[in-house]
Structure 1
Amino acid sequence: MKVFDNPARSEWSTLLQRPVAEAAKLEAVVSGILQQVRTGGDNTVKALTLQFDKAVVDNLLVSEAEFREAAQLLDAELKTAILTARANIETFHKKQLSEPEIVETMPGVQCWRKSVAIEKVGLYIPGGTAPLFSTILMLGVPAKLAGCKEIILCSPPDKNGKLHPAILFAAQAVGVTKLFKAGGVQAIGAMAYGTESIPRVSKIFGPGNQYVTCAKQLIQQEGIAIDMPAGPSEVAVYADESASPAFVAADLLSQAEHGVDSQVLLVTGSSLLVDAVIKEVNKQLVLLPRKELAAKALEHSKIIVVKDETEAIDLLNEYAAEHLILACNNALALAGRVVNAGSVFLGHYSPESVGDYASGTNHTLPTNGYARAYSGVSVDSFVKKITFQQLSEQGLRNIGRTVELMAEAEGLEAHANAVRVRLHSVKSE
Structure 2
Amino acid sequence: MLSRTDLRGTTPTAAQLRRALPRGGTDVNAVLSTVSPVVQDVKDHGASAALDYGERFDKVRPASVRVPAEVIAEAAANLDPAVTAALQESIARARVVHADQRRSTVTTQVAPGGQVVEKWIPVRRVGLYVPGGNAVYPSSVVMNVVPAQEAGVASFVVASPPQADFGGWPHPAVLAACALLGVDEVWAVGGAQAVALLAYGGQEVDGAELDPVDLITGPGNIYVTAAKRLVRGVVGIDSEAGPTEIAVLADDSADPAHIAADLISQAEHDVLAASVLVTDSEALADAVDEQVAAQAATTKHAERVATALTGPQSGIVLVDDLEAGLRVVDEYAAEHLEIQTRDAAGVADRIRNAGAIFVGPYAPVSLGDYCAGSNHVLPTSGSARFASGLSVQTFLKGVHVIDYDQAALRTVADQVITLAEAEDLPAHGDAVKRRFIRRTTT
Same-fold call, TM cutoff 0.5: yes
Change in Cα spacing, 1:103 to 1:23, as seen in structure 2 (3 Å) is closer
Amino acid at match of 1:195: G
Indicate conservation of the 8 Å contact 1:343/1:365, yes or no.
yes
1:55 touches 1:158 (CA, 8 Å); kept in 2? yes
TM-score, with normalisation over the residues of structure 2? 0.92
Structure 1 residue 382: Cα displacement: 0.6
**CA distance 1:393–1:43, shift in 2 (3 Å):** closer
Q: Does 1:30 align with 2:35?
A: yes
Q: Which runs of 5+ in 2 are unaligned?
A: 205-209
- Equivalent residue for 2:46, pick from 38, 41, 48: 41
CA shift for structure 1 position 298: 0.8
> 1:206 and 2:207 equivalent?
no
Specify whether residues 204 and 316 from structure 1 end up closer, same or farther in structure 2 by C-alpha distance, changes over 3 A only.
Answer: same
Task: Return the offset for 1:19.
Answer: 2.3
Whole-Å separation in 2 of the counterparts to 1:421 and 1:56? 64
Whether contact under 8 Å (2:69, 2:184) holds in the other structure is no
Aligned with residue 323 of structure 2, among 299, 310, 322: 310
Aligned to 1:102: 107
1:347 aligns with 2:360: yes
Letter in 1 for 2:32: E
In 2: Cα distance, 1:83 partner to 1:209 partner: 27
Output the CA distance in 2 between the equivalents of 1:176 and 1:383: 19
Percent same amino acid at aligned positions? 38
Q: Output the CA distance in 2 between the equivalents of 1:211 and 1:81.
A: 31
Map of 1:6-155 to 2, 5 A cutoff?
A: 6=7, 8=10, 9=12, 11-16=16-21, 18-155=23-160
Say if 1:98 and 1:6 are closer, same or farther in 2 by CA, change over 3 A. Answer: closer
Matched residue, 1:169 = 176
Residues 328-348 of structure 1, C-alpha deviation per residue, up to 9 Å, x if partnerless?
122222223211111111111
| Alignment partner, residue 215 of structure 1 | 227
Is the deviation greater in 288-297 or in 128-137? 288-297
Listed as ranges, the gaps of 5+ residues in structure 1 are none
Tell whether the 8 Å contact from 2:118 to 2:401 is kept in structure 1 after alignment: yes
Are 1:255 and 2:266 matched, yes or no?
yes
CA contact (8 A) 1:125 1:135 kept: yes
Cα distance in 2 for partners of 1:71, 1:195 equals 28
Structure 1 residues 98 and 228, CA, compared in 2 at 3 Å: closer, same or farther? same
8 Å contact kept, 1:37–1:190: yes
Could you tell me how far 1:103 is from its partner in structure 2? 0.9
- C-alpha distance in 2, partners of 1:101/1:194? 35
Match of 2:397 among 373, 376, 384: 384
Cα shift readout 1:292-323 (whole Å, capped 9, x = no counterpart): 21111112111111111111111111111111
CA distance in 2, matches of 1:15, 1:152: 42
Q: What amino acid is aligned across from residue 422 of structure 2 in structure 1?
A: A
CA-atom RMSD, angstroms? 1.9
TM-score (norm 1): 0.94
Q: In 1, are the aligned partners of 2:22 and 2:315 still within 8 Å (CA)? A: no
Counterparts of 1:119 and 1:247 in 2: how far apart (Å)?
A: 44
- Secondary structure in structure 1 of the residue aligned to 2:336: strand
Q: What secondary structure, in the 3-state scheme, does the structure 2 residue paired with 1:388 have?
A: strand
**Whole-angstrom CA distance in 2 between matches of 1:167 and 1:287:** 28
- Structure 1 position 373 matched with structure 2 position 380: no
Is the 8 Å Cα contact of residues 335 and 379 (structure 2) preserved in structure 1? Answer: yes
SS at match of 1:39: helix
Query: Counterpart in 1 of 2:419?
Result: 406
* CA–CA distance in structure 1, aligned partners of residues 85 and 301 of structure 2: 25
Q: What is the match of residue 267 of structure 1?
A: 278
Across the two proteins, how many residue pairs are aligned to each other?
426
Higher mean C-alpha deviation, range 301-310 or range 392-401: 392-401
Instruction: Work out the CA distance in 2 between the residues paired with 1:164 and 1:407.
Output: 59
Report SS of the residue matched to 1:375.
coil
1:23 Cα shift?
Answer: 4.7
Poorly superposed stretches of 4+, deviation over 4 Å:
21-24
2:244 to 221, 225, 233: 233
2:305 corresponds to: 294
When structure 1 is superposed on structure 2, of 120-129 and 280-289 the one drifting more is 280-289
Q: Write out per-residue CA displacement over residues 183-222 of structure 1, whole angstroms, 9 at most, x where no aligned residue.
A: 11111111122232343211110011222112111211x5
Report the Cα distance in structure 1 between the residues aligned to 2:28 and 2:238, rounded to whole angstroms: 21
Match of 2:351 among 329, 338, 342: 338
CA positional deviation for 1:42: 1.9
Q: Point out the more displaced range, 104-113 or 191-200.
A: 191-200
SS in 1 for 2:225: helix
Deviates most, 333-342 or 243-252: 333-342
Deviates more, 1:168-177 or 1:72-81: 168-177
